Amino acid sequence: MKVNRFLGFVSVLLLAAFVAACSNQAATNEPSSPVEAAPTDAPAIGAPVAAATEAPAPAPTAAPQATTAPAAPTASGGSTLQTIKDRGELICGSNDQVPGFGSVDASGQTVGFDIDFCRALAAAIFGDPNKVTFRPLTAQERFTAVQSGEVDVLIRNTTNTLTRETVNGMDFAPTNFFDGQGIMVRKSDNLNTISDLDGATICVQSGTTTELNLADAFRAVGASFTPAVFEDANGTFSAYDAGQCDAVTTDKSGLASRRLSLSSPEDHVIMDVTLSKEPLAPAVLQGDAQWRDIVTWVIYGLFNAEEYGVTQANVQEQLSSDDPNIRRLLGVEGELGAGLGLDNDFMVKVISAVGNYGEIYDRHLGPNTPINIPRGPNAQYTDGGLIYGMPFR
C-alpha cells in the first residue's frame, strides 16, 4: 500500500513536471486518450487529468487511479496488436522462478506451462513462437507493468479476482490453470477434514494470502490451529519434513511437486479439501477489446484442439478433416481469424508451435515431469474437468 501511494504521488509529481515541461507534446497526447479509452474503460481509468488532481488526496484508492490513469496511451496509441506487429515481437510478462510454470533451463531457454502460452500468442500473431521477449515480473510489479505498457500481456500465475479487474484495471482471459489451496498431512495421522485438524500445528509461508485463507477456513468450522510461519517455500517444507508441524499448506500444484522433495513422499497425502479458489489466468490491460479477444480465443483454441484431438504431430493431416468443428478451428472454413485481426489459419500456427492444451500440460506438468500434477480440475469438461473451449463459429 505504502509503495502504491508513494508511486502514485511521484507519478503525479512527474506527470505534472512532464506536462509543464513539454506542454506541446502533452497537448497532442492528452486529448486523444480519454476519447479513445472512454467507451471501453472501466470508471477506474478516468480522464488522466481528473485522476491526476485526485491522487494526492489521502484516500488509498487514489493511488491506483493515478497509476492506471496515464496507462491510457497503450489503448489510445492505436491497437495493441498493431503496436506488437510494428515492434516485431510480443513482450510477455512472465515468471522465471516457478518450476513447471516458468523457469530458465541450464541452456538459458525460458520454459514452462505459462511460457508456452506466450509462445502460442507469438505464433498466432507472427507465425513464429520465438518472436517473444520474456519480461520476468515480480508479484509486486506485475500490474504496474501491464498498466504502463511495459508488457503486452501478463501470463504469470496470476489469480483472477474482482479487485484486479476493477482497481488494477486488468482484463482477464480464460483461466488456463485451476489451482486451489490444499493441505498435506502424514498418511499415518489419518486426517480427512479440516475439523480433524483441530489444535494442529500447521506450517505456512508468510506474506501470502495462504495464511489468511487458512485462518478463514478454520474459523468457518470453528476449529483452532497453531500456525508455524516461514519466510519461503523451502523453509516451510523442510520444517514439515522435520516433523515440526502436523500439516503444511500451499497451492495444490505446489503441494504435489513439493511432496516429491520430502524424505519419503509415499508417507504423505494431500487432503481432499480446497481452502480457496485460485484460477490462474492471463491478463491484459483494459481498454483494447481486440487484443483481449485475441488472447482469449488463442486459449479457447488450445482447449478445443485438445477436445477434437488436433495435436502438434497431426495438425497438417487434420487440415483435410471432414469434421466442421476442426475445419473452422484450423481456418479451412470461414473467416474466424480475420475477425480477430489475425490470419484465418492462426490456430494451425499455434498448434504447430506448441501443441494443444493437453500437450502443453503434459510437457511441463504431466506425469513424466518432476512436477507431476494430476489433471484434476484442469481436465477437459468431457473428462469431468473445467477446461471448456467456447465454440469456434
Partner 1 sequence: MSTTAQELERPQQQSDVGAWLRQNLFNGVLNTLITIVLVIFIPIVLFLIVRWAIFEATWQPVATNFRLLMTGRYPIEHVWRIQACMAIIYLLFGLSAGIWQGMVRTIGIGLVGFAIFFALFPFSVSARLWLVGSVVAALVGYFVGRPFSSKLRIPVIVLWLISPFIFWLLIRGGMLGLPLVTTNLWGGLLLTIILAVVGIIASFPIGVLLALGRQSKLPIIKWCCTLYIELVRGVPLISVLFMAVLMLPLFLPSNIRIDNLVRVLVAITGFSAAYLAENVRGGLQSVPRGQYEAASALGLNVFQTTFLIVLPQALRAVIPALVGQFISLFKDTSLVSIVGLAELLGIAGIVINQPEWLQVTGGVEREVLLFAALVYWFFCYTLSKISRRIEAHLGVGTR
Query: What residues between 233 and 252 interact with partner 1 by CB under 8 A?
Result: 234, 237-238, 241
Query: Is there binding between residue 258 and partner 1 (CB under 8 A)?
Result: yes
- Kindly indicate which of the ranges 101-109, 301-309, 310-318, 324-332 contains the residues binding partner 1, using the contact rule CB under 8 A: 101-109
- Shortest distance (Å) from residue 199 CB to partner 1: 28
Q: Which is nearer to partner 1, 115 or 315 (CB)?
A: 115
Query: Is there binding between residue 56 and partner 1 (CB under 8 A)?
Result: no
- Shortest distance (Å) from residue 357 CB to partner 1: 20
Query: Is there binding between residue 16 and partner 1 (CB under 8 A)?
Result: no
- Shortest distance (Å) from residue 68 CB to partner 1: 10
C-alpha cell at 264: 519419503
Query: Is there binding between residue 286 and partner 1 (CB under 8 A)?
Result: no
Number of residues that bind partner 1 (CB under 8 A): 59
Query: What residues between 312 and 341 interact with partner 1 by CB under 8 A?
Result: none
263: number of Cβ within 10 Å: 9
Query: What residues between 149 and 178 interact with partner 1 by CB under 8 A?
Result: 149-150
Binding residue for partner 1, selected from 40, 83, 161, 312, defined by CB under 8 A: 83
Query: Is there binding between residue 96 and partner 1 (CB under 8 A)?
Result: yes
- Shortest distance (Å) from residue 80 CB to partner 1: 9
Binding residue for partner 1, selected from 92, 120, 137, 350, defined by CB under 8 A: 137
Q: Which is nearer to partner 1, 48 or 389 (CB)?
A: 48
C-alpha cell at 143: 500490474
The type of residue at 125 is I
Binding residue for partner 1, selected from 56, 127, 136, 341, defined by CB under 8 A: 136
Binding residue for partner 1, selected from 5, 11, 350, 355, defined by CB under 8 A: 11
103: number of Cβ within 10 Å: 17
From the number of C-beta atoms within 10 Å of its C-beta (0-12, 13-18, 19+), residue 197 rates as buried
Q: What is the 3-state secondary structure (H, E, C) of the chain?
A: CHHHHHHHHHHHHHHHHHHHHCHHHHHHHCCHHHHHHCCCCCCCCCCHHHHHHHCCCCCCCHHHHHHHHHHHHHHHCCCHHHHHHHHCCEEEEECCEECCCEEECCCCCEECHHHHHHHHHHHHHHCCCCCEEEEECCCCCHHHHHHCCCCCEECCCCECCHHHHHCCCEEECCCCEEEEEEEEEEHHHCCCCCHHHCCEEEEEECCCHHHHHHHHHHHHHCCCEEEEEECCHHHHHHHHHCCCCCEEEEEHHHHHHHHCCCCCHHHEEECCCCCEEEEECCEEECCCHHHHHHHHHHHHHHHHHHHHCCCCCCHHHHCCCCCHHHHHHCCCCCCHHHHHCCCCCHHHHHHHHHCCHHHHHHHHHCCCCCCCCCCHHHCEHHHCCCECCCCCC
Q: Which is nearer to partner 1, 229 or 262 (CB)?
A: 262
Q: Shortest CA distance to 285 belongs to which of 83, 25, 28?
A: 83
From the number of C-beta atoms within 10 Å of its C-beta (0-12, 13-18, 19+), residue 184 rates as buried
Query: Is there binding between residue 46 and partner 1 (CB under 8 A)?
Result: no
- Kindly indicate which of the ranges 76-84, 171-179, 202-210, 289-297 contains the residues binding partner 1, using the contact rule CB under 8 A: 76-84
Query: Is there binding between residue 141 and partner 1 (CB under 8 A)?
Result: yes
Query: Is there binding between residue 209 and partner 1 (CB under 8 A)?
Result: no
- Shortest distance (Å) from residue 77 CB to partner 1: 4
Q: Which is nearer to partner 1, 265 or 384 (CB)?
A: 265
Query: What residues between 342 and 381 interact with partner 1 by CB under 8 A?
Result: 369-371
Binding residue for partner 1, selected from 23, 138, 193, 224, defined by CB under 8 A: 138
C-alpha cell at 92: 510477455
Q: Which is nearer to partner 1, 138 or 192 (CB)?
A: 138
Cα-trace Rg, the chain: 23
Query: Is there binding between residue 105 and partner 1 (CB under 8 A)?
Result: yes
- Shortest distance (Å) from residue 320 CB to partner 1: 38
Contacts with partner 1 by CB under 8 A lie at 3, 6-7, 10-11, 14-15, 18, 29, 70-71, 73-74, 77-78, 83, 86-87, 96-100, 103-110, 133-138, 140-141, 144-145, 147-150, 232, 234, 237-238, 241, 257-258, 260-263, 369-371
